[in-house]
Amino acid sequence: ETGVTQTPRHLVMGMTNKKSLKCEQHLGHNAMYWYKQSAKKPLELMFVYSLEERVENNSVPSRFSPECPNSSHLFLHLHTLQPEDSALYLCASSQEVGGWGTGELFFGEGSRLTVL
């Protein structure tokens, strides 16, 4: 257990569906992240939140909509996805945003998304 819990672990959705991924961290961290991991590609940073405020959005299509209601919870709302969006979506947290100092990332187990 890393202290970061993601649900659901697996999700299959059609291109017209709307679904959400949930992440919860029990570590008291101030920063939370969404990463996308596709086959044969490096981890892609999607969004970064620091104390519930979005501080980074790496040119992610608008069909991905993040929400951070408090510093312990992070959501990724999905709508009108494409088959190429199929991937493992990883949530992570760290004490402070970025890795300066002693920062390390704590990852959840990921949500495997398949878009049909």
Partner 1 sequence: SQQGEEDPQALSIQEGENATMNCSYKTSINNLQWYRQNSGRGLVHLILIRSNEREKHSGRLRVTLDTSKKSSSLLITASRAADTASYFCATVPHYGQNFVFGPGTRLSVLP
Site of interaction with partner 1 (CB under 8 A): 2, 4, 6, 33, 40-43, 45, 48, 56, 88, 90, 92, 97-110, 112
Q: How is residue 82 written in tokens?
A: 């494409």
What are the C-alpha distances in Å from 8 to residues 53, 97, 116? 24, 25, 17
CB nearer to partner 1: give 21 or 48: 48
CB nearer to partner 1: give 71 or 111: 111
Nearest distance from residue 48's CB to partner 1, in Å? 6
> What is the CB neighbour count within 10 angstroms for residue 3?
14
Nearest distance from residue 80's CB to partner 1, in Å? 26
Which 3 state secondary structure label does DSSP give 85?
helix
Q: How is residue 43 written in tokens?
A: 């981890």
Instruction: Name the pairing type of β-strands 111-115 and 10-13.
Output: parallel
Nearest distance from residue 20's CB to partner 1, in Å? 19
Nearest distance from residue 100's CB to partner 1, in Å? 5
Q: How far is 115 from 36, CA to CA, in rounded Å?
A: 14
CB nearer to partner 1: give 60 or 88: 88
CB nearer to partner 1: give 58 or 82: 58
